[in-house]
Amino acid sequence: MSTASPEPWPGPRRRARARPVLAPAPVAISVPAAGADAAACIAQAMAPQEPALVLLFGMPAEGLPALGAELRRRLGPDCRVVGCSSAGEIGPQGYCAATVTAVGFPAASFRVGVCVLRDQALVPVSEWMATLRRFHVDFRPDLRRSSFGVLLPDALARQEDVLTATLDAAIPGLPVVGGSSAEGMLFAPTCQMVDGAVHEGAALFVLIETDLAISEVLFSHFSPTDKRAVVTAADTHNRIILELNAEPAAQEYARLAGVPLHALTQTEFARHPLLLRTGKRHHVRAIRAITREGGLELLSGTEPGHILTLGRAMDMTRGFAEVMDALPRPPLMVLGFDCILRRLALERAGMTGQMSELLARYRVVGFNTYGEQHSGMHVNQTFVGMALMPPEAG
């Protein structure tokens, strides 16, 4: 029934009788977005697991609200259904398009809570802080189990930097991953849905507690060069660099990248990203477009005084495999959020099939985003994810 796999992922196999049974693992399935029976297919795959949560990524023909409401009806009121639109999906067989990817978390090994952070564009930080703290207290986390958060912001609100910092301050120490919801490559209004209800302009936060072990995954395929520039003027609200090194931003960027100004395209932006160093890491500040005035419009925040470094692309597939192989144990699933610019770069290089094989091998499911969140930060051109693994022996 799935466009990517004939059946959803099975749960882990039963161990020998003398050993305890592993906690049920998540299941995933991708179905055609245009299919008339999407709800039936997803419910059939999820119902045997008795899920506490189903995440939906994509743009179904009937709309996310209708699909979410129907799944809630079929799976029962104890199952929360949360979803957002996407720029592409990652299903059980890797990258897919024009699908809806569903991920189910069995109630036997997961407990969830859902918090809606409203009016993202207005940045009501005090309200968010109070809402998150109250939500976390009411959730009553079990400290004997693993916990993590999933954040699904509205990309068009352009306030993910403040949002992630607020979340990190409100619930310190909680690992959080997520992706800014998208609407294809059109930068059109996005959709955030909870249990069939639309929450326009909001960010959705899901708190997940589990018996499984967890490990955050972070991969960016760029290394810094020795070419640097200072942001000397910027429109911080609209994420536009007006000047680099006191020169028109696009002109100075073209000089640093060694590309004629008239030849700057999304391909060149992806090959030569701007990196911002925070602590010991460099994080991508992806360029979306050149403005009419010669500025650089970014997908992440910037401000005067930022020192940016020109990045150099590395092998995307080999580096990803190395990061995944470094996990403590092979994952039962990785909930992943992958920048759409990475997928476009792979398509141009003819490497989509290779990356899809890796995504399937490491059981990655999720969607392509307009930006990624992790550890209190909003970044670009990065893969972030949460690996779910069997608990340690004993």
> Facing residues of 193 across strands?
83, 198
| Whether the predicted pLDDT of 334 surpasses 60 | yes
Q: How many CA atoms lie within 13 A of 11 on its CB side?
A: 20
Can you tell me which residue has the tokens 């590395």? 314
Which residues have CB under 8 Å from 48's CB, separation 6+? none
- What is the spatial distance between Cα 163 and Cα 222, in angstroms, rounded to a whole number? 25
For position 174, what pLDDT does the model report? 97
pLDDT tier, 2 (very low <50, low <70, confident <90, very high otherwise) = very low
| Whether the predicted pLDDT of 187 surpasses 80 | no
Render pLDDT for 93-128 as a digit per residue (tens, 0 to 9): 999 999 999 999 999 999 999 999 999 999 999 999
Which residues have CB under 8 Å from 359's CB, separation 6+? 90, 94, 95, 336
Render pLDDT for 127-137 as a digit per residue (tens, 0 to 9): 999 999 999 99
Render pLDDT for 376-390 as a digit per residue (tens, 0 to 9): 999 998 999 999 999
- What is the spatial distance between Cα 283 and Cα 374, in angstroms, rounded to a whole number? 11
For position 320, what pLDDT does the model report? 94
pLDDT tier, 242 (very low <50, low <70, confident <90, very high otherwise) = very high
pTM to 2 decimal places: 0.87
Render pLDDT for 45-84 as a digit per residue (tens, 0 to 9): 999 999 999 999 999 988 999 999 999 999 999 999 999 9
